[in-house]
Structure 1
Amino acid sequence: MLLSPLSVVLLAAVVGMGVAVLAWLHRDRPGAGPLAAFVVAASLWTVAYGLELAVPDVQTMTRLLQAQLTLSVVVPVAWLVTVLEYTGHPRWLTKRRVALLLAEPAMFVTLVWSNRAHGLVWSGSETAVVAQTSALVPVWGLARWAHLAYMLTLILAGGVLLVQQMLRTSELFQSQSLALLVAIAIPTMTHSLYALGEFAETLDPTSLAYVGSGIVLSLALLRGRLLDVAPVTRDLGREAIFAEMDDRVIIVDEGGRIVDVNAAAADLFGAEAAALSGESLRRRLPALAETLPETGERAQTETRLERDGAVRYFDVRVTPLYRAYGVVSGHLVSLRDVTDRRQREQRLDVLNRLLRHNVRNEMNVVRGNADLLRDSVPDSERERIDRILRTVDAIVDRSDKMGRVSEALENERARPVLLRRLLRPVVEEARERTPEGEVTLSCPETCTVEGGPSLTLAFGELLDNAIEHSDGPPTVAVTVATDDAETGVLVRVSDDGPGIAPHERDVILAGRETPLRHGSGVGLWLVHWVVRNVGGTLSFAPEDGDGTTVEIELPAASTDRDTAGGAGDDRPTDGASDERSATAAADAAVSER
């Protein structure tokens, strides 16, 4: 059913201006301003055509036709600027290019309003009556066809940018780009087909097509977050990260030639980023070029680079860049300077080995001399010698324990462990140490956690600490809660001792010591390191009297691994034999060092 001219005007005005208002509300977003101009111009174009159909005067029709042609020059330019801003190419709009872009519209508008003198836009016209409506039917001239070709060229250029955006972005931006394409395709195809005479009707359906375009844009704005989240914001963020990040980043093509570098990487080459474009990476940094994989795979390695007589070590990560059909078009090479970390690790490793080796040897010397001295001193002084011997044994035991934990942290891989079988030998050993005390264990037989032998060391340290610091016969309870066993298993170690000082708790929970805040020992640190290594957490329950409750939450073993039928190393183990073998290996390593 054909709409009346007044209906066309009203519908176009309401829909078009509504979309313009929505776009204007987002005017601070990329593409919102030119999109609003696009919709307003298209709506006024439609209104002018509706008024042309409503008036009977030919002269007024001609003026309205000139207004329509004038408004038509805004639509393709505003559309292209919208797409350029939306897709992140606003820098393309230099002053010179904007002048060239507006040259044709300005010339066409001049020809439109001076057409009576030359007839280049239309050479004549006639009035046709269709459905009780009169319409002006011009005979178009060369300038009109040239302008139509220019309009289609700008619209096609924007469409190509949107298609490129759709091929390399996420689903959200794909739907947004598709909405923009549909919004411009509806009126463009309709207007082009009408201009080519493909419609039998005299009335121009472009007006109704722009109404459909406005509806599509309204849905994209309200439901598709068209201007809330634009890809240009993401692209600008990526550019900022690339330019400002401290890591050196180099982009090379498939031939190993440098395409782009960030500021940090340019400093590595000792040259400006622009001067490096097109240079061979192998010629500039042969050691770094050796890290590029021959196949399209990710790679991570460490390399050393020398510049100005100084050697620096870098962690190198190489990521392939793919184009269509999985073809590798280049590589993204990121370098992180690990020289300081490497030197610190070397110092710590040397100090660790020397201290553990020297502590054991020198304490053996002290103990041997103390044994000899004990037989030659009066009975009244032997208590002092015994105290020396106990202190020496404690230092050696602590050093050995540190060695075992260090080895476990470096080599242990978390796997399903039957928690009760792991805790039972620890509890039995604690009972032997304090026969007058009470050490209890409450743990389901089938409770399985992700862990390893080092957990034995951690729980043993907690029980030793509870027994050692008790004022009398200790009462220690180890309880396991499996209420939330799907995600974690909570192990509580409670005692009736004097408790752990608040500053000691704060240091452990903070994860680091400072000159003003530090613990008095390493026992809780050992527990913290072991628990964290298997993916667990350590905390302290609120105190409601004497004693302390340490809570350790361990990750529950996944069901598929628990029921794997004992395949390989993933079957649940009792932990005791593993702990003995791990301890033996650690002792052997300490002895060798």
Structure 2
Amino acid sequence: MLLSLGLSVAVDVVAVGLLTWVTWQTAKDRSPPNAVPFALMSGSLLLWALLSLISEFPNAWGVGSNLAAIAQVVPVVFLPAIWLVYVLGYIGRETGFTSLRGALFVLLALPLIGAAATFEGDPTREEIRRSLASLVGTELFLLFIIYVYAAFLFLRYGWNHRRVSRTQVGIQLGAISAPYVIGGWLDGSSIIDGVTGGLLVSGVLLTVAIQRYPVLTGFPKADYVARSRVVESLQEAVVVVDWEANILDANVTAEGLFGWTTRNVIGTPLDAAVDGFDGGDLSAGTTEVVSLQTTKGRRQFQYTVSDVERDTSGSDEEPVARTIVFRDVTDQRTREQRLSVLNRVLRHNARNKLDVILAHADHIEDDTHRAAIQNSASELASVSRKAREAEAVMTDSVSAPSTVDIAAVAHEVAATARDDYPDSSISVTAPERLQLTSYRTVVRRLMTELVENAIVHSDDPARVDIEVETTADDIPQLRIADNGPGIPDRERDLLTESSETQLEHGLGVGLWFVNWAVSQLGAELEFQSTGTTGTTVVVRFYRNRESMSQDSDGSHSR
């Protein structure tokens, strides 16, 4: 008898030691998604083992052995429910506790409350027996259903998922089952109590599991690492949405790009959180280019949509969500357009003008032919010069941006234009200072091209009004108005569509540079008619609260 008690106590002590270590290892770092349910699961087994150890010693630590034995009902009843919560989180059906899962624990507690209420009043022994039998039967039925359901989900997921070890599945399932199975298998005549032996097996198996397998992650380890390491380190913005296009998750890049935190936009419609994504196609496999407003201004993005499958079992279940990857292609598309236009200049404009020169070369003594040669050569030289200047300016924009006073730039551009076109009337309305973080060379060249285009295409005498202001939303804005016939609709379309084709190459290099500059600066370009004659070109720069400042003295003109 003494040997049996000593052995049973020793087994209890070892079980308590192992389960204490497992619980401590999981509880000290709760960052993995499924760490809390696992810690509660091992903690329940630890409580069970402690109560089992106490029950070996009558009146030990001031607690009666019978009371300790009765208290074991608590971990016995609630362990299967905690096991189910852990399994649901592990297979990807949301980690942690929800209201529905909380209701499950309440349901399990009701028979215990009913059992305690049975002793109220002065019931007969037969009434107590029948009430307890009914309540115990209900409790056992609930425990059986919960345990079997959790085991079924865990086994199916482990067998269908290639990255989950089947040995891991067996070890974890055995750790939960051991106290119940071995406790029911070994009777009181055994050297050690069956529950005690089962708790020792649980401690050993959980110790092995936590050291060798990814038991703390929500989903298999590769999925968790992919989510926490790979996705978060991507330079592309990643947003996960449900089938109603409401945001479920996003990575750090998306937060910085669109100016919000994931916690604040969960449940928000995608088109409400991402300015410019109205009506975007979210079908699986979609790849499109859209223009979106970001913290860096308006940028062009190529987005790709893919389904998020519940598992890899090949079932016909609907995907649980969709992942949208946004890749900034503004610079890429700008380079492509730049190369396309410069290539067109060399292949089309320069070639055609040289053909004219060669065709008139034999008639150089004729005044008419001589004038044609001079005009063609001048046009060719001008086009080539503008192309070189555009290329040089766009190359400068690769460096880091700096603080630019666009009011001062406007005055500089106006002064240069007055010198180059003395017969023109050029006015500037601007505040004393209006600063933003940008590329000064690009901003100046953008203004120069718009002013020169307005002067060249205006009626004599040309009148150009330059206005620098901020909108009601504190957005810096440039307005250049002229008294000319206006920009033809076809050229407007070419500018706003950001495309250059073989058939639509009539736009000058100067206005194409305007297109490049607006795109590179993250700005917006708009054309407004000013009556029967004249056009107003509006450029809205993106807002940067930290770098933008404006004097309170208002604006002045000259």
- Which TM bucket (shorter chain)? 0.3 to 0.5
Task: Tell me which of the two structures has the higher relative contact order, counting C-alpha pairs closer than 8 angstroms and 6 or more residues apart.
Answer: 2
TM-score by length of 1: 0.44
Max radius of gyration: which structure? 1
TM-score by length of 2: 0.46
